[in-house]
Structure 1
Amino acid sequence: MIRRLIEHLYEYTITKQCTHIPVHIAIIQDGNRRFAKKKGIATSSGHRAGADRTEEVLEWAQELGIRHITLYTFSTENFSRTDEEIKNLFQLFKEKLTRISIDERVHKYGIHIQMIGDRDMLPDDLKGALEQAEAATAHYDNFYLNMALAYGGRNEMLRTTAKLLDDVQNNRITKEQITPDLFEENLYGNNVTIPPVDLIIRTGNECRTSNFLPWLANGHESAVYFCAPYWPMFRKLDMLRAIRVYSERQEMRKKSHS
């Protein structure tokens, strides 16, 4: 009780220090498996605990006025995991996506769901649940939840490059028209628009960005915050600390330009 009260006071203090709120936060949700091992529970239970924490994090984002959250849900490298773990993960994603269209919070907050990644790598039932969630929320524009599924930064760059080459070969554009802006417009196709990343957060005490959003994050020099808690143990306090790092960086930029 006392510990939680102190934490609330600390959250309040840090919130006052967050004078700049990022528009777009990208999160690498690391540590579900290590959390499960530490607790002596099944890996699938660790992933489920992580999914529950994700729902809380989205609530915090709403409170703080963050408009875009991109979650590194499943990478192309994750396909090297065991068939059982992949099956359990995909079932969990399907359950969560199926619930989205009837979740009161989604409609209350006007959450727009969209995916980035290679849809062709996903099983049909998961693709169906994803498309249903996207269709049910396509008219919302208050808050964007971007799910990086079957996603890899290098794969993203290769696919975008191949698309632009195809456009040149078929005379839809000329090679002289290829600019950084055009490349960015073609990253995810016509139906998905994601702004540059302001802040990357990675949990689980891993200090690397793991091929995540190289163009929108690294290309725009986003702030990065690494923290120790495994994803299921990630707290609002940790999120506020990350935003404080971003805010301090913005203040430094402002002073350097004044």
Structure 2
Amino acid sequence: MTKTKSVLYMPDGNRRFARKEGIPFSEAYHAGARTLRLFSDFFVAEGRSEQFVFHVMSDYTHKRTDLTLGPIYDAIRECFGELQEDRFFENRAIKFRAIDHSGKIPLELRGACERLERASLNGASGEVVVLLGYSLEKDYNDALAGGPKNYEELRGQLLFPDIDLVIRPKEMRPSSGPVYAMGQSQIVVLDKLNPEVERADLLRVLEEYDRWKSYKEENNPAHRI
């Protein structure tokens, strides 16, 4: 197994899952939020990656006018509450970090983020980052403010310069996430919607990633790192 520096997951397909199963959006988003625990355990706690990035929301998500925004907030807040109650990150020596560039997440959710961050300062096992209002524009503007002299320096000053693997469910919505990762990493698409993802799916993802990495290294010595 190849250990990665960083894995990015975009948990799409929750609304479609609700329609498919005939359940309320709130129930679908609660089921979808719990994949954070699955991925965090599999990649970081079990030593397969130094960092896991869970891209829940971009800044534009907060502009939704349908009935899904409230259920998203509620599901994330409840998920964070369960993680704190279980001391999930603390017991696994995982550092938790939440990023919101929008400034629009509800106060209760912001408080839940801050409590998890304070309780998980030991990052010996690695880091889990949850994006709750990520702005690609701000990420680039902040990197440019550092005065990079070339593209490599610019990439190094972005929030996530080392993403090796991007995982997406079969419903792939247009993303305003850290899409620069798509040009540097292997993308694996799961034939499932986010709430349906299981551990066996992640094992298959790693098998595909290892095959891809081995192929690159065999055919181009520059990839032998």
TM-score range, shorter chain: 0.7 to 0.9
Matched residues in 2 for 1:212 and 1:243: separation?
Answer: 22
Matched residues in 2 for 1:84 and 1:251: separation?
Answer: 45
Which residue of 201, 218, 221 corresponds with 1:238?
Answer: 201
**Alignment match, 2:128:** 145
**Alignment match, 2:162:** 196
8 A Cα contact 2:100 2:134, kept in partner: yes
TM-score computed with the length of structure 2 as normaliser? 0.84
Matched residues in 2 for 1:209 and 1:144: separation?
Answer: 26
**Alignment match, 2:154:** 183
Residues 130 and 104 of structure 1, relative CA distance in 2, 3 Å threshold: closer
TM-score computed with the length of structure 1 as normaliser? 0.74
SS in 1 for 2:68: helix
Matched residues in 2 for 1:240 and 1:28: separation?
Answer: 17
Residues 117 and 159 of structure 1, relative CA distance in 2, 3 Å threshold: farther
Per-residue CA deviations over 1:54-90 (Å, capped at 9, x if unaligned) read: 3223222233632311011112232232364212211
Unaligned runs of 5+ in 1: 1-18, 168-174, 189-193
**Alignment match, 1:249:** 212
Larger radius of gyration: 1
RMSD, aligned α-carbons = 2.6
Per-residue CA deviations over 1:192-232 (Å, capped at 9, x if unaligned) read: xx5510100000343x77233234x135x100011220111
8 A Cα contact 1:202 1:209, kept in partner: no
Which residue identity does 1:245 align to in structure 2? E
Unaligned runs of 5+ in 2: none
The percentage of aligned residue pairs carrying the same residue is 22
SS in 1 for 2:4: coil
Give the structure with the larger helix fraction: 1
Which residue identity does 1:94 align to in structure 2? R
Matched residues in 1 for 2:217 and 2:133: separation?
Answer: 37
8 A Cα contact 1:76 1:150, kept in partner: yes
**Alignment match, 1:126:** 109
Residues 33 and 126 of structure 1, relative CA distance in 2, 3 Å threshold: same
SS in 2 for 1:158: helix
Per-residue CA deviations over 1:115-156 (Å, capped at 9, x if unaligned) read: 234052323332222122112212333121111111132342
**Alignment match, 1:6:** none
Matched residues in 1 for 2:65 and 2:102: separation?
Answer: 20
Per-residue CA deviations over 1:39-64 (Å, capped at 9, x if unaligned) read: 10001110011112332232222336
**Alignment match, 2:26:** 44
SS in 1 for 2:166: strand
How far apart are residue 20 of structure 1 and its match?
A: 1.8
How far apart are residue 109 of structure 1 and its match?
A: 0.9
8 A Cα contact 1:202 1:227, kept in partner: yes
